[in-house]
């Protein structure tokens, strides 16, 4: 598989091993270790279902054997699109146990994204829930099978109809081949790239370290009860430290059925939750909901917030209103994680996004000529380290732009560092809109909009929004008849684009401002829109 992803240079890999970051452990070892130590302890709660570590491990063992018997071999990929249910953990570890690589799609993805991910990853199987929030994923599976016949199997949690149910993935345990710890353990979706979404290969070595170290920095232990509110296919609630960090620490994961503050806060009270992670717009909702929800949040110790900029005024309200402490997290599925520390002063916790978790995270802040800026000044962040990728999956050409010659990842984030080393995220240099934590690669949406007959040209820009941080605005040069927003949304919907990527606004232009290089000047477009919307 070596041409699929870019390994770290051998001398650096040797250093990471020598320093104990890479321990030759797989993600399967993570569950096995805890299951051995904490057999009867509660591993996961999902509604009325409560599985101990022994039960989770036993289910994983039988499912892994069944998957192996179907002919899926180490290194094969399976596209996984599951909501926050216990079966997510079961399947995730079952795939790890037989060396098969999960490709993590979000429940919100639709035909456009799912087909792209299946083709890009070369997945041989697709795993879904029967239906979730009113959407029948078996319908999507039928469309996928028709368009990508190499997807041979469909596994369904729930009623499988013509497909294979999770319950049928049950075989006598057998000795399975062990994956190499330097091989790819999981493919995560990137939100940070131009064009179609890319996949991020995370190896067992690097992800195990990512999980261990973030669990340590977050202070997780056997008494942790972690509420998974955000979709667990996201790196943050999955592994930073998230559910995998909780399993590593021997705590209990509680799956939250939906993201509403009502459900979330009632779960905190009912399940005595100690830790959870939210994106900034959800923090606002959780704060406001205290006015009408009187669920007791007394067990909650730490709230982690990341994914988008957290307004300091909102940050300052967390402790007085929710009664728990705040930990800011600036992370990326590509790797680098910054956390504020539990013993940081209030100023750092409220105003900064923390500092890197590893002593060997190498951060470089540069100007437009790739030259390092004066310490304390603002610039684009480049990073490399023991858990930051060296190349996207099967994207050789794009990788030449996304990485420097010496292997730094060009994050596209505009940041500065305080004298104490804390990172403050100031903005962004990449063609992505961060809509309340969900990343929207604008080129992907623009290309689909160009196929609408009334669209001559289009640019999607982010406009400031009090709740979501940013919303998307489609700036359109019409062809003939002027299109309407509902018509454009219906067009994208018919093409199978996830709902969160549909534009929130439409503004019609006669010409676009351009940059010196003759490209559309998105920044100028965004300010034109902001000016025209201020009263
Ligand atoms: C401002 N921007 C932020 C923050 C991420 C933990 C937390 C988040 C993610 C994540 C993650 C931000 N303030 N606190 O994977 O493990 C923006 C940056 C970054 C991009 C990455 C994790 N935290 N961002 O959000 O891969 O622009 O990961 O480059 O989805 O989100 O997005 P993603």
Classify residue 368 as exposed, middle or buried by CB count within 10 Å of its CB (0-12, 13-18, 19+): exposed
The CATH number of whichever domain residue 160 belongs to comes to 3.40.50.980
393 within domain boundaries: no
**What's the pLDDT at 232?**
98
462 within domain boundaries: yes
**What's the pLDDT at 517?**
83
- Tokens, residue 531: 């000016």
Counted domains in the chain = 2
Q: What whole-number distance in Å separates Cα of residue 28 and Cα of residue 94?
A: 8
For ligand 1, is residue 425 a contact (CB within 6 Å)?
yes
For ligand 1, is residue 353 a contact (CB within 6 Å)?
yes
Q: What whole-number distance in Å separates Cα of residue 5 and Cα of residue 193?
A: 16
The pair phi, psi for residue 10, each rounded to 5°, is -55, -45
Residue 95, Cβ neighbours under 10 Å: how many? 28
Whether residue 294 is predicted with pLDDT greater than 50 in this model: the reply is: yes
- Tokens, residue 109: 């993805």
Domain boundary among 155, 180, 205: 180
| The ligand 1 atom nearest the CA atom of 239 | 16
Q: Name the H helices within 323-431.
A: 346-351, 396-402
**What's the pLDDT at 124?**
98
**What's the pLDDT at 428?**
92
| Span from the CA of 353 to the centroid of ligand 1 (angstroms) | 10
Q: Name the pairing type of β-strands 49-52 and 42-46.
A: antiparallel
Whether residue 530 is predicted with pLDDT greater than 90 in this model: the reply is: no
Q: What whole-number distance in Å separates Cα of residue 387 and Cα of residue 204?
A: 10
Q: At how many degrees (to 10) do helices 280-289 and 261-271 cross?
A: 70
280 within domain boundaries: no
**What's the pLDDT at 1?**
44
pTM exceeds 0.90: yes
For ligand 1, is residue 430 a contact (CB within 6 Å)?
no
Q: At how many degrees (to 10) do helices 204-217 and 27-37 cross?
A: 50
Whether residue 534 is predicted with pLDDT greater than 70 in this model: the reply is: no
Q: 130: closest CA among 121, 122, 120, 140?
A: 140
> pLDDT digits over 225-239, tens only?
999 999 999 999 999
Whether residue 437 is predicted with pLDDT greater than 60 in this model: the reply is: yes
For tokens 């007085």, what's the residue? Answer: 320
> pLDDT digits over 338-350, tens only?
999 999 999 999 9
For ligand 1, is residue 191 a contact (CB within 6 Å)?
yes
334 within domain boundaries: no
For ligand 1, is residue 192 a contact (CB within 6 Å)?
yes
Q: What whole-number distance in Å separates Cα of residue 20 and Cα of residue 202?
A: 18
339 within domain boundaries: no
Radius of gyration of the chain (CA): 23
Domain boundary among 118, 152, 180: 180
| The ligand 1 atom nearest the CA atom of 214 | 16
499 within domain boundaries: yes
> pLDDT digits over 28-71, tens only?
999 999 999 999 999 999 999 999 999 999 999 999 999 999 99
Classify residue 432 as exposed, middle or buried by CB count within 10 Å of its CB (0-12, 13-18, 19+): buried
Task: Write out the residue range of the structural domain in which residue 134 sits.
Answer: 26-180
For ligand 1, is residue 469 a contact (CB within 6 Å)?
no
Whether residue 368 is predicted with pLDDT greater than 60 in this model: the reply is: yes
The CATH number of whichever domain residue 464 belongs to comes to 3.30.300.30
| Span from the CA of 214 to the centroid of ligand 1 (angstroms) | 15
Chain-centroid distance of CA 33 in Å reads 25
Q: What whole-number distance in Å separates Cα of residue 195 and Cα of residue 389?
A: 19
358 within domain boundaries: no
Is residue 440 within 8 Å of residue 469, measured between CB atoms? no
Which residue has the CA at smallest separation from atom 15 of ligand 1? 332
Q: What whole-number distance in Å separates Cα of residue 19 and Cα of residue 398?
A: 31
Q: Given CA atoms 443, 445, 448, 449 in this order, what sign does their dihedral have? A: negative
| Span from the CA of 326 to the centroid of ligand 1 (angstroms) | 16
**What's the pLDDT at 44?**
98
Q: What whole-number distance in Å separates Cα of residue 211 and Cα of residue 258?
A: 24
For ligand 1, is residue 413 a contact (CB within 6 Å)?
yes
Is residue 414 within 8 Å of residue 25, measured between CB atoms? no
| Span from the CA of 49 to the centroid of ligand 1 (angstroms) | 32
438 within domain boundaries: yes
Long-range contact pairs involving 35-43 (C-beta distance under 8 Å, separation at least 24): 37/250, 38/222, 38/250, 41/222, 41/250, 41/252, 42/252, 43/89, 43/247, 43/252, 43/253
Q: 111: closest CA among 498, 512, 523?
A: 498
Is residue 144 within 8 Å of residue 114, measured between CB atoms? yes
| Span from the CA of 167 to the centroid of ligand 1 (angstroms) | 36
**What's the pLDDT at 196?**
83
Is residue 411 within 8 Å of residue 334, measured between CB atoms? yes
Domain boundary among 163, 180, 197: 180
Cα–Cα distances (Å) from 390 to 206, 359, 398, in that order, read 11, 18, 12
Cα–Cα distances (Å) from 74 to 77, 94, 98, 118, in that order, read 9, 12, 6, 17
């Amino acid at each position: 598989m070596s041409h699929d992803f870019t390994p770290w240079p051998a001398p650096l890999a040797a250093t990471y091993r020598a320093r104990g970051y890479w321990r030759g452990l797989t993600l399967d070892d993570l569950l096995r270790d805890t299951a051995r130590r904490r057999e009867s302890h509660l591993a996961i709660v999902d509604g009325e279902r409560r599985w101990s570590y022994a039960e989770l491990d036993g289910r994983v063992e039988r499912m892994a054997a069944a998957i192996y018997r179907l002919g899926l071999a180490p290194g094969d990929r399976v596209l996984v699109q599951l909501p926050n249910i216990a079966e997510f953990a079961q399947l995730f570890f079952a795939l790890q146990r037989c060396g098969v690589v999960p490709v993590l799609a979000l429940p919100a993805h639709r035909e456009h994204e799912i087909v792209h991910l299946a083709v890009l990853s070369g997945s041989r199987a697709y795993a879904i829930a029967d239906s979730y929030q009113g959407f029948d994923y078996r319908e999507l599976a039928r469309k996928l099978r028709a368009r990508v016949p190499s997807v041979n199997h469909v596994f369904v949690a729930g009623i499988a109809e013509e497909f294979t149910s999770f319950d049928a993935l049950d075989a006598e345990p057998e000795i399975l081949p062990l994956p190499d710890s330097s091989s790819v353990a999981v493919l995560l979706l990137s939100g940070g790239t131009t064009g179609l979404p890319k996949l991020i290969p995370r190896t067992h070595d690097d992800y195990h370290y990512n999980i261990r170290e973030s669990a340590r920095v977050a202070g997780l232990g056997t008494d942790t009860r972690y509420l998974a509110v955000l979709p667990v296919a996201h790196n943050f609630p999955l592994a930073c430290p998230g559910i995998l960090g909780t399993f590593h620490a021997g705590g209990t994961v509680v799956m939250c059925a939906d993201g509403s503050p009502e459900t979330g806060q009632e779960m905190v009270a009912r399940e005595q939750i100690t830790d959870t992670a939210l994106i900034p717009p959800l923090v606002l909702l959780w704060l406001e909901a205290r006015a009408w929800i009187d669920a007791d949040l007394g067990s909650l110790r730490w709230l982690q917030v990341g994914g988008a900029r957290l307004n300091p005024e909102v940050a300052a309200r967390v402790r007085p209103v929710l009664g728990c402490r705040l930990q800011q997290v600036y992370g990326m599925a590509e790797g680098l994680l910054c956390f504020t520390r539990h013993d940081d002063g209030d100023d750092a916790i409220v105003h900064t996004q923390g500092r890197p978790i590893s002593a060997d995270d190498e951060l470089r802040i540069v100007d437009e000529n790739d030259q390092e800026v004066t310490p304390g000044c603002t610039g684009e962040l480049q990073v490399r380290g023991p858990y930051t990728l060296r190349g996207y999956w099967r994207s050789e050409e794009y990788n030449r732009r996304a990485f420097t010659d010496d292997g730094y990842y060009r994050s596209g984030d505009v940041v500065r560092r305080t004298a104490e080393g804390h990172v403050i995220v100031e903005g962004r240099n990449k063609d992505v809109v961060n809509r309340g934590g969900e990343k929207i690669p604008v080129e992907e949406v623009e290309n689909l909009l160009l196929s609408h007959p009334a669209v001559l040209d289009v640019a999607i820009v982010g406009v400031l929004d009090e709740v979501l941080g940013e919303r998307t605005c489609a700036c359109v040069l019409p062809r003939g008849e002027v299109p309407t927003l509902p018509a454009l949304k219906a067009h994208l919907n018919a093409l199978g684009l996830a709902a969160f990527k549909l534009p929130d606004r439409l503004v019609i232009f006669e010409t676009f401002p351009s940059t010196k290089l003759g490209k559309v000047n998105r920044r100028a477009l965004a300010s034109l829109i902001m000016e025209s919307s201020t009263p």
